[in-house]
């Protein structure tokens, strides 16, 4: 009989992978959710890697979408978008999306904003659909065969059933995660970070790109801020400035100069092809992308934020 | 003493007089100069005016997540909904998650403000596309929160910075928010038992609705605008305009409150559409 202190026979698995490996988890034709909200905190490094790997026929499912979906549409990676808003807020309309709709009949499926969000909550609660009142008479229900009218079984009143998102995979960009996949969400956050949490609860396969992979010690000091526990996470990638050119609350501002470059380029098919060549295809890695943007520019975007 | 009221101030007082005490007003954060003025700045100033004149307990929900912000602190209207500038604006409460601390769909919101690229004779609004939905001539941002605004808020104020035949049409190309097709009975048949547009605010006039007939009608015409001009700018029949009054002007006191207390730095109402055009 041994008195020795028990030692673990197996070691807890690190989920840290490369960006290339993480993007490899996405197969052609999948339904994908991308974290962040509108023009804020989108997993842009991951998006560029998907484009670099020439993925195609993805359906992007969101609440509000912007440059992450526009770039995927421009690259031919995304062929269908289900959302309530597709635009660039203060930067205007989404140019590649707009052209795809107007010239090529792109498959844009419109949902109301809160219900777009509730579709993810349906997945979270294990439901096939989310019930909605107040949609009668809208073109949203007339043009969308996935929304079904039904009568309330209790009152007989007309309702609509909106399908759960049934994502194959979701990707978020977070401020910090540990190597097992615990994700810290700043306490003083906004809807973009709240959507990341909803996404994490709605899907079966979640990829987290993070500004920094932090130590166990750091993580445990911030345990009350861990809204996405490790067991929900499939893979973790360290990607500093992984949301560029979108902003990262409390860490860096959006890069207005780069937004303007993209918008200028994306006005034409040739322009956006050149943009993608220079910023995606001609670059081997995210590090090369950051070098291309330049240290001085990136440094100028940094924030001092002590409110978290 | 005061210089005459501007169009922006006229619209602010017209709206402010509509709001009642204890109500909750919801405004999004629109971007683009004219849209931001009509859909965000004028509504915010109107709610602040109502709070100072007759509705001290009215709650302002800015961008859907900031409660009773201190707008007099602003140098300019924020142009980003979830950035530090808006987050750090002094206020009474913030809703950081969805679903948040304020319910949106159970009657808790008394009124909202919406805008779009087209509005039609029965008050339907369109923010999604122009032309054929399968191959639109112009594709815009999408429905956003308008379906909810037009069915689950107590009432909706349609804020239209442009008033011409392209924006005021007989039938919208896409219904994002439902007006009164078939009147109130028509709404009931669609399952819409409350809510709906109340007024339509434009640079030329104020519309309200014959909610039985389900038709928009002119409630008042702004000073300096003729009936003929109004007809020429509207893509549907306005009927007899002979008895329609002029939009009532602000009082001296209302102007003073707007200029001194609500918008001392012209952060809200400084944009003049007439001189920008």
Both tokens of B99, joined, read 């679903």
Determine, for residues B31 and A89 on separate chains, whether the beta-carbon distance falls below 8 Å: yes
Give domain limits for chain A: 19-123+165-301, 129-163
Largest Cα–Cα separation, chain A: 77
CA distance A139 to chain B (A): 5
Determine, for residues B80 and A90 on separate chains, whether the beta-carbon distance falls below 8 Å: yes
Determine, for residues A305 and B84 on separate chains, whether the beta-carbon distance falls below 8 Å: yes
CB proximity list for B37: less than 8 A, separation 6 or greater: B8, B161, B269, B271, B273
Residue count of chain B: 277
* Measured distance CA(A56)–CA(B159) in Å, rounded: 40
**What are B215-267's pLDDT values in tens digits?**
999 999 999 999 999 999 999 999 999 999 999 999 999 999 999 999 999 99
Q: Are B60 and B25 in contact (CB under 8 A)?
A: yes
B66, B86, B139, B179, best to mutate vs chain A, most A CBs in 10 Å: B139
* Four-CA torsion B139, B140, B142, B147, nearest 10 degrees: -110
Consecutive H or E run containing B243: none
Q: Are A75 and A276 in contact (CB under 8 A)?
A: yes
Q: Could you tell me the domains of chain B? A: 1-102+249-277 (no CATH), 112-246 (3.40.1080.10)
Q: Name the H helices within chain B.
A: 7-16, 33-36, 42-53, 84-87, 146-152, 183-189, 227-233, 252-257, 273-276
Q: List residues bridging with B120 in a β-sheet.
A: B169
Task: Render the burial of A199-211: b for 16+ CB within 10 Å, e for the rest.
Answer: bbbbbebbbbbbb
Mean pLDDT (whole number) for A66-91: 98
**CA B178 → CA A151, A162, B197, distances in Å?**
20, 19, 8
**What are A222-231's pLDDT values in tens digits?**
999 999 999 9
Provide, as residue numbers in chain B, all residues whose Cβ is less than 8 Å from the Cβ of A135. 147, 151, 191
A24-28, A37-41, B29-33, B50-54: least confident range:
B29-33
What pLDDT does residue B2 have? Answer: 66
Q: Does the pLDDT value for residue B6 go beyond 60? A: yes
Q: Does the pLDDT value for residue A3 go beyond 70? A: no
What pLDDT does residue B276 have? Answer: 63
B191, B195, B214, best to mutate vs chain A, most A CBs in 10 Å: B191
Beta strand residue intervals within chain B, DSSP E: 24-27, 59-62, 66-67, 93-94, 111-114, 118-120, 125-126, 129-132, 135-139, 155-159, 168-169, 197-201, 205-210, 215-221
Q: Which of B97, B105, B133 sits opposite A139 (nearest CB)?
A: B133
What pLDDT does residue B32 have? Answer: 83
**CA A213 → CA A82, A238, A251, A308, distances in Å?**
32, 6, 15, 18
**What are A264-297's pLDDT values in tens digits?**
999 999 999 999 999 999 999 999 999 999 999 9
What pLDDT does residue A171 have? Answer: 98
Q: Does the pLDDT value for residue A305 go beyond 80? A: no
Both tokens of A121, joined, read 């909550």
Look up the CATH superfamily of A19-123+165-301. Answer: Glutaconate Coenzyme A-transferase (3.40.1080.10)
* Measured distance CA(B30)–CA(B25) in Å, rounded: 15
Angle at B231 between CA B226 and CA B233, to 5 degrees: 95
pLDDT higher at B154 or A1? B154
DSSP summary character for residue A225: G
Q: Does the pLDDT value for residue B3 go beyond 90? A: no
Mean pLDDT (whole number) for A185-205: 94
What pLDDT does residue B274 have? Answer: 75
Q: Are A178 and A221 in contact (CB under 8 A)?
A: no
What is the average pLDDT value for chain B, to the nearest integer? 95
Determine, for residues A133 and B96 on separate chains, whether the beta-carbon distance falls below 8 Å: no
Mean pLDDT (whole number) for A184-207: 95
**What are A169-186's pLDDT values in tens digits?**
999 999 999 999 999 999
Band the pLDDT of B31: cuts 50, 70, 90: confident
Band the pLDDT of B88: cuts 50, 70, 90: confident
Provide, as residue numbers in chain B, all residues whose Cβ is less than 8 Å from the Cβ of A307. 88
DSSP summary character for residue A230: G
Determine, for residues B192 and A143 on separate chains, whether the beta-carbon distance falls below 8 Å: no
Over the Cα atoms of chain A, what is R_g? 20
* Measured distance CA(A279)–CA(B206) in Å, rounded: 50
What pLDDT does residue B79 have? Answer: 87
> What separation, in Å, do the N-terminal and C-terminal C-alpha atoms of chain A show?
52
What pLDDT does residue A307 have? Answer: 62
**What are B159-217's pLDDT values in tens digits?**
999 999 999 999 999 999 999 999 999 999 999 999 999 999 999 999 999 999 999 99
Interface A-B: count of C-beta contacts within 8 A: 150
Q: Name the H helices within chain A.
A: 19-23, 44-52, 67-74, 95-104, 113-124, 139-142, 191-202, 216-221, 256-265, 269-276, 286-293, 295-301
What pLDDT does residue B205 have? Answer: 98
What is the average pLDDT value for chain A, to the nearest integer? 96
Angle at A265 between CA A260 and CA A267, to 5 degrees: 100
Q: Which of A110, A135, A159 sits opposite B128 (nearest CB)?
A: A110
């Amino acid at each position: 009989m041994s008195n020795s202190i028990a030692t673990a026979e197996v070691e807890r698995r690190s989920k840290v992978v490369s960006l290339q490996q993480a993007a490899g988890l996405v197969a052609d034709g999948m339904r994908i959710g991308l974290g962040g909200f509108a023009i804020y905190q989108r997993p842009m490094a991951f998006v560029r890697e998907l484009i670099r790997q020439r993925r195609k026929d993805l359906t992007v499912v969101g609440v509000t979408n912007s440059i992450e979906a526009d770039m995927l549409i421009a690259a031919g990676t995304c062929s269908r978008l289900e959302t309530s808003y597709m635009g660039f807020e203060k930067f205007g309309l989404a140019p590649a999306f707009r052209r795809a709709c107007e010239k090529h009949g792109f498959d844009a499926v419109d949902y109301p904003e809160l219900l777009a969000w509730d579709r993810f909550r349906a997945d979270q609660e294990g439901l096939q659909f989310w019930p909605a009142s107040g949609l009668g008479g809208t073109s949203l229900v007339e043009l969308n065969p996935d929304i079904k009218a039904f009568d309330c079984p209790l009152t007989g009143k007309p309702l609509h059933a909106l399908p759960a998102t049934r994502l194959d995979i979701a990707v978020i960009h977070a401020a910090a995660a540990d190597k097992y996949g615990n994700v810290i969400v700043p306490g003083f956050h906004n809807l973009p970070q709240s959507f990341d949490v909803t996404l994490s609860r709605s899907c079966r396969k979640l990829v987290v790109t993070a500004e920094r992979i932090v130590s166990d010690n750091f993580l445990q000091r911030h345990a009350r801020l861990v809204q996405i526990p490790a067991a929900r996470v499939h893979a973790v990638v360290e990607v500093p400035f992984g949301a560029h050119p979108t902003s990262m609350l409390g860490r860096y501002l959006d890069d207005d100069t780069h937004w303007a470059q993209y918008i200028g380029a994306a006005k034409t098919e040739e322009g956006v092809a050149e943009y993608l060549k220079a910023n995606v295809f001609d670059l081997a890695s995210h590090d090369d992308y950051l070098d291309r943007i330049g240290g001085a520019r990136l440094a100028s975007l940094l924030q001092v934020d002590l409110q978290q | 003493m005061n210089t005459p009221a501007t169009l922006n101030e006229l619209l602010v007082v017209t709206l402010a007089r509509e709001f009642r005490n204890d109500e909750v007003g919801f405004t999004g954060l629109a971007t683009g100069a004219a849209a931001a003025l009509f859909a965000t700045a004028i509504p915010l100033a109107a709610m602040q005016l109502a709070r100072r004149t007759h509705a001290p307990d009215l709650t302002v929900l800015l961008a859907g997540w900031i409660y009773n912000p201190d707008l007099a602190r602003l140098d300019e209207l924020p142009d980003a909904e979830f950035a530090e500038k808006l987050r750090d604006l002094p206020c009474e409460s913030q809703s950081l998650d969805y679903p948040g601390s304020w319910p949106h769909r159970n009657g808790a919101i008394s009124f909202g403000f919406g805008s779009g690229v087209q509005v039609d004779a029965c008050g339907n609004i369109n923010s999604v596309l122009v032309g054929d939905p399968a191959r639109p001539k112009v594709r815009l941002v999408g429905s956003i929160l308008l379906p909810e605004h037009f069915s689950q808020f107590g009432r909706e104020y349609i804020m239209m910075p442009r008033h011409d035949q392209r924006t005021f049409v007989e039938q919208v190309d896409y219904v994002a928010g439902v007006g009164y097709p078939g009147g109130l009975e028509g709404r009931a048949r669609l399952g819409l038992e409350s809510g709906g547009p109340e007024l339509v605010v434009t640079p030329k006039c104020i519309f309200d609705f014959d909610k039985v007939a389900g038709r928009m009608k002119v409630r008042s015409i702004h000073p300096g605008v003729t009936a003929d001009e109004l007809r020429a700018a509207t893509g549907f029949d306005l009927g007899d305009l002979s008895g329609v009054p002029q939009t009532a002007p602000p009082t001296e006191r209302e102007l003073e409150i707007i200029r001194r207390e609500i918008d001392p730095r012209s952060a809200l109402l400084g944009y003049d559409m007439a001189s920008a055009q």
